[in-house]
């Protein structure tokens, strides 16, 4: 064990079961460990480094801002924050943006805005938030309550009250639950990422949208993992032709710096007033400058490249030996392998490819601009390992 690994084990809280690998640097979709071994990065820091490691344009944007103004309180205006909010609204049609620093914080804001909207409009008892079984919305006590997976809840009772879970793709159950309770919001991920890269059925998503509109229930779409080009559209809800009331995003938006955002439509844009919500670091100028450099490059041409790479992955892996199914969209891919996913990921690492898992699947979230030759190399290695492991 290297000295850094020993120090980490002694002093860093024991919440991560790390691989015995210390990554020290990288460029694009290749990262290097302390022993000089190189890996193709098919995880991008769990969907964060959208344009890879140390992308030139992103680095220049962040460093330039860093040397001008690294932080200012939200008592004052700063250019990157204002311009990023403008770009997010222009690209989505949403009206206002609240900035935090993570996915969980973006969801906290969405939940507060939805509850305040319902309280103002229908009464304070309209506070129920309905989410889906197998969902994941974060690790704070409130976003854990939103997360529809019991095993995350067990150790941390009592969680924030007012959250109910209903099966995905069962519109009648959702409607019943929403009408039997005084419901403020419905929150969904169009593709359940941590739940195993499981896309929701199109009809279900459309019906949830129509029902929420009809009942004046706020629809929150959690795009923390699916957002910013990841699924081949700027945001995954765009694949379903719906328009949510609140969209939350984080991870890939910052390209590697902490940022989270809740995008609010005309219904909820004015719900939170002065002092109702805030964050010391929210809208940080360096994070926002980095995010601007990411977001401005996610255009139609770029998204069609993402789709092209996605097509290649799905076509190459779908009928391969040792692979039972391939799910997801764009460059968010879940592979159900015949062998245990953890074993496949370990073998991939030995052969120089970093992959993730999600539940019982191997999960791929490469940088969106991963060059085709590297992608091909990584997918061939994954495919070979799936065949070998099946035997």
Beta strands in 158-252 (DSSP E): 163-166, 183-188, 191-192, 198-199, 218-222, 246-249
Q: Write down the least CB distance from residue 192 to ligand PLP, Å.
A: 8
DSSP notation for 278-321: --SSTT-HHHHHHHHHHHTT--HHHHHHHHHHHHHHHHHHTT-T
Using rule CB under 6 A, residue 365 touches ligand PLP: no
Cα angle 196, 142, 228; round to 5: 50
Give the range of 131-139, 158-166, 262-270, 315-323 binding ligand PLP by CB under 6 A: 131-139
Contact mark string toward ligand PLP, 255..294, x via CB under 6 A: ----------------------------------------
Beta-strand relationship, 183-188 and 218-222: parallel
Is 357 in contact with 345 (CB distance < 8 Å)?
A: yes
The DSSP code sequence of 205-221 is HHHHHHHHHHHTPEEEE
* Residue of closest CB approach to ligand PLP: 103
29 binds ligand PLP (CB under 6 A): no
User: Of the candidates 51, 47, 31, 27, which has an alpha carbon nearest to the alpha carbon of residue 39?
Assistant: 31
In angstroms, the Cα distances linking 36 to 3, 8, 27, 353 are 16, 20, 13, 14
H/E stretch holding 363 = strand 361-364
CB of 110 to ligand PLP, least distance (A): 10
* Exposed e or buried b per residue across 113-127, where buried means at least 16 C-beta atoms within 10 angstroms of its C-beta: bbbbbbeeeeeeebb
Please, what is the minimum distance in Å from the beta carbon of residue 252 to ligand PLP?
11
What minimum distance in Å lies between the beta carbon of 223 and ligand PLP? 8
Our CB check for ligand PLP shows the closer of 194 and 269 to be: 194
Binders of ligand PLP among residues 206 to 265 (CB under 6 A) are: 222, 224-225, 250
Single residue of 104, 286, 344, 379 touching ligand PLP by CB under 6 A: 104
DSSP lists the bridge partners of residue 31 as 26, 39
Tell the smallest beta-carbon distance from residue 342 to ligand PLP (Å): 18
Among 28, 45, 138, 244, binds ligand PLP (CB under 6 A): 138
Does 102 help bind ligand PLP (rule: CB under 6 A)?
yes
Minimum distance between the CB of residue 195 and ligand PLP, rounded to whole angstroms?
Answer: 9
Which has the closest alpha carbon to 360: 335, 381, 387?
A: 335
The Cα 295–Cα 59 span in angstroms is 14
Closest CA to 105 of 239, 247, 248: 248
194 binds ligand PLP (CB under 6 A): yes
Residue 36: CB minimum distance to ligand PLP, A: 31
Q: Judged by CB under 6 A, does residue 366 bind ligand PLP?
A: no
Binding footprint of ligand PLP, residue count (CB under 6 A): 14
Q: Which of 136, 152, 204, 209 binds ligand PLP (CB under 6 A)?
A: 136
* C-beta neighbour count of 72 within 10 angstroms: 13
Q: Pick between residue 103 and residue 199 the one whose CB is nearest to ligand PLP.
A: 103
Instruction: Summarize as ranges the residues that interact with ligand PLP (CB under 6 A).
Output: 102-104, 107, 136-138, 189, 193-194, 222, 224-225, 250
């Amino acid at each position: 064990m290297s000295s850094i690994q020993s120090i980490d084990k002694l002093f860093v809280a024991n919440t991560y079961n790390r691989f015995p690998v210390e990554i020290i640097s990288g460029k694009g979709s290749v990262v290097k460990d302390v022993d000089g071994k190189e890996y193709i990065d098919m995880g991008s820091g769990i969907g964060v480094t959208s344009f890879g490691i140390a992308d030139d344009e992103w680095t220049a944007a962040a460093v330039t801002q860093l040397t001008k103004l690294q932080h200012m309180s939200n008592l004052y205006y700063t250019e990157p924050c204002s311009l990023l909010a403008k770009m997010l609204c222009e690209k989505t049609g949403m009206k206002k943006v609240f900035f935090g620093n993570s996915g969980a914080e973006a969801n906290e804001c969405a939940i507060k805005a939805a509850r305040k909207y319902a309280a103002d409009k229908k009464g304070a008892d309209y506070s129920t938030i309905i989410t889906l079984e197998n969902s994941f919305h974060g690790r704070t006590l409130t976003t854990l309550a939103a997360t529809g997976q019991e095993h995350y809840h067990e150790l941390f009772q009592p969680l924030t009250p007012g959250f109910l879970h209903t099966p995905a793709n069962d519109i009648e159950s959702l409607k019943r639950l929403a009408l039997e309770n005084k419901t403020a919001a419905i929150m969904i991920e169009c593709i359940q990422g941590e739940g195993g890269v499981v896309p929701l059925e199109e009809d279900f998503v459309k019906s949830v949208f129509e029902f929420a509109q009809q009942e004046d229930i706020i629809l929150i779409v959690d795009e923390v993992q699916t957002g910013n080009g990841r699924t081949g559209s700027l945001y995954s809800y765009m694949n379903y032709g719906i328009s949510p009331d609140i969209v939350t995003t984080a991870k890939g938006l910052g390209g590697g710096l902490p940022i989270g955002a809740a995008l609010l439509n005309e219904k909820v844009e004015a719900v939170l007033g002065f002092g109702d919500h805030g964050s010391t670091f929210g809208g940080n100028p360096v994070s926002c400058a980095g995010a601007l450099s990411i977001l401005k490059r996610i255009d139609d041409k770029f998204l069609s490249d993402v789709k092209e790479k996605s097509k290649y992955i799905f076509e190459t892996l779908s009928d391969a030996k040792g692979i039972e199914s391939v799910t997801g969209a764009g460059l968010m891919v879940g592979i159900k392998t015949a062998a245990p996913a953890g074993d496949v990921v370990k073998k991939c690492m030995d052969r120089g490819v970093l992959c993730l898992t999600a539940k019982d699947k191997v999960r791929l979230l490469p940088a969106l601009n991963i060059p085709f030759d590297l992608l091909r190399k990584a997918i061939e290695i994954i495919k070979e390992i799936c065949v070998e492991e099946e035997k």
